Structure formats: C-alpha cells, structure tokens
Chains A and B, each alone.
Chain A
Amino acid sequence: MKPKLNASNAVAALMCAALILLPVYSAATGNIFILTLFTRIVIFALAAASLNLIMGYGGMMSFGHAAYLGIGGYAVGILAAEGIGSGFIQWPVALVVSALFALLIGSLSLRTRGVYFIMITLAFAQMAYYVASALSRYGGDDGLTVYKRSDFAGLINLSDRNQFYYLCLACLFGGLYLIWRIVNSRFGLVVQGVRSNEQRMQAIGFHANRYRLVCFVIAGTICGLAGALLANNTDFVSPAVMYWTRSGDLMVMVILGGMGSLFGPVIGAIVYLLLEELLSQFTEYSGLILGPVLLLIVLFARGGIMGLLGRMRRG
C-alpha cells in the first residue's frame, strides 16, 4: 500500500518532523520545560501505540495496559537498586518480564470476550499494583527512586536531556515501524480478521486465540520498553504508574487519536498530555474539561482525530 497524500498522512508527517526538530527549538529558545514535557509525551505515545496494536487492530479492549509500564519500570528500578546499572541487562529483563506477564494474563483472559475481558485485564493490572505496593524492600507504596539512569557503556548518555529525548523518539519510531510491518503482515491480517469476524476465521482454518495471544504478548513487550524509558525519565518508579486510571489514560489516548490508525495514538498522546498540562495551570479539575472533550470525540468523531482528518479530504 502506497502512502496517500491526504490530511491525516500530512499531519502525521508534520508531527514526526516537529518531534525530530523539537530539541533544536528547545535549545534555540532555552525552553527546557518543553523538552521535558515532550520526552514524557513520546514515552506515553509508545505505550499508547502498543495498546493500539491490541485494541485498535486486534479488537482486544485491555484495561490493564499500564501494568507493563510498571513492570518495565520496576525491572529497571529494582536492578538499579541491587547494583546492576547496565542498560544491556536492565532493558532486556524489562522486556522479557513484560512479555512473560503478558503471556500469563493473556492466556487466561483471552478465554473471555467483551466486558469480561476488560474486567480480567483490569483485575490483573490491579494485582500487579498491589504486589508493587507490598514490595517494602523496594519502597512499597512510596515507590522507588532510581538514583542512576541505565548505563549503556558510554554509547549513549541517558542523563543528557537531548540524547535521552532522541533515544525515546527512536524507540517510538522503531515501535511504530514494527507495528506497521506487523499490521500488514500475514500475522497482522489474521489478527485483524479475528477482530472483524472470529467465527469466520475459525471456519477457514485459523486457531484464532493463538494469534491473539501472540499479539497480546508483543503489545505488552513494547509497553514494557515504554516502562523502562519512563523510569529513566522520572528517575523514579511507583505503584501509581500501574493504577487503573493510568490504563484508562492510555485507552483515552488511543481513542482520542484514532483506534486502528498507526499515528493515532501518537497524536492522541500529544493532545491528551498537552491538554492535561495546559488545563492544570488553570484548574485543579482538568478532568471537567477533558471528560467532555473525550465525550465529543467518541460521539461525533468515530475514529478519533485521525478519523476526522481522514474525512476532511472527502468531506
């Protein structure tokens, strides 16, 4: 499929260019805050993109996706606390543990559909939250400070604002590229086919759940990477990143930006976190405004912002 020149692709291209040039702007204007803010946004965009893989393409409404943010983060934090500072160990561990967790909860929750699936994924994420709260050795409720960012043997310095930002951005673009390949591959078509009509897919010879499970694990692993980035970004990890409202935030980003669109979650994360940031300067109750915005999007713009842009050209 060749990329077509339309509003949504143009916006996606502009967005990527802006994200790449952001550190230049930040350096030129001396505005460090915007770089810090966007580092966070890029990390959440990666998490949202991974959720989009199962939610948008796979039709699996996981309400526990933030669990992987915590698992990836704790993998980095706990290893750092135990004196293992190398990113070459921390990050693979973060990915593997996230994948195993996804395998465990996926193989149980994928036996169910619809509301039950949402509830089971939520329950597992909450369990992870309470387990983390009970880890008194690693800060328990108060969380765990990461005193030293992951060390990549001098290849890249994560404490350098610009380098870290570009690392996060590279992870985001890499993740999106991976998702794009997956979505158009044999595997991706099967997963989307199962979303569309599971009975039909079984009847033509696909063991639907096996494909869904693998997709679920891939998404969890990518989100685990976002978790490792997040812990390095905040130099801190706490059970709060796994709380169900965080999973809700990720869902909102995906729906806001456009489910089943590659760049939807990125624009969703940008809009959501920017709005949150802006509104928090005026009011404590940013939800009062964010809520109705989401409501309008869901009611009048199925397919989110990307869906709106896609319609503009035809409209």
Chain B
Amino acid sequence: MSTVNDPDISPQRDADGSDGSDWGERVYRSLPDLGIRHVATVPDAGLGRFLELCEADPAIRLITLTTEEEGIALACGTWLGGELAAVAIQSSGVGNIVNMLALPNVCRIPCLLLVSMRGEAEERNPWQVPVGRTVPDLLTALGVEVFRPESASGVAAAFAEAAARAQEAGRPAAVLVGQHIIGAKSFVGGDG
C-alpha cells in the first residue's frame, strides 16, 4: 500500500539495548514534552498499555468516546482552546472519522491520531479487514499525513514527528502502529 510518508524513523534497537516493545509507555512518557494533556479514545487492546498509563495519570485527562469522529471534533476544540490533543483509536475507527475530517482540513487545525492496526497480515477476523487494509490509503486520500514506524522502537519517534508535522502544517497526522508491532489477536476457543 502506498503512503506519502513512510519513514523508518528509528533503529530496530535503541542505544540502551531495548527492543522498544514498551512503545505504549514511551508514547505516554512523551506526552508532557508534546504539551498533550488530553487523550481521547475508543479503546483497543493494541493501545492497552498506553491507555492504562494515561488513565492512571492525574495530569492526563482520558476522554472515552462513543465513536471516533467525536475525537476529531474534540481535538479540534482543544486546539482552538490552545492545546494539542491525541486521539487514540483502532483502525476500524478510521472508517468512522471520514466526514469529520472536513473540520481540521478546511480549518487547517492540527490533529494527532494514534491508530492501532487490525486487518493486516495474520488477522483472523475478516470483519476487521475491509477498513483495516484501506486505512493508509484512506487517510492519505483524506489529507491526513501518515506515519508508519517499521518497528516498535520507532513508534514514539514517529508520534513526536507526527505531532510536529501536524502543528507546522496545520493538518491532521496519524501514526499507524502495525500488527507486526502489536501482534495479531488470537481467537482461542472461538470459531474465528
């Protein structure tokens, strides 16, 4: 799948030898430096560690949404109030935000998405595939700059880069955390 921006931002292994599998914690720890106090989400297992840390932190307001397009409008509102927010969603939720993206696109409002991917290789739930496999192209077509870190250790750097690019250009940007980083969901005991 093609994207306009597909950098391998950081190396496979950090200087401290970590393989970066704690990417959710690293993204969480980057929030203060990015000036982010508001995190809006429709939860996903792939975002579990990140969301858990946000919820436990009294300095972060975790805003649980009923549907992902709420997060786009909310993030535009916080930015109008002077603050960048993060919107953390599953790839299927990208299908829900399509028309709401008119708001940041027409108004040139920075908007930062952290997307946990489903529907890629080894997906065992076919219902996740139609939107999941389309997400990079869909976001690109809708004017969202897409970042796809190749490894877990690159996620936090991609998130910081997306935040910077979103604010510099006044546009939405998304970091897609692939299933090769998160791991595929197993359906043990199910028929899937």
Question: Does A pair with B?
Answer: no
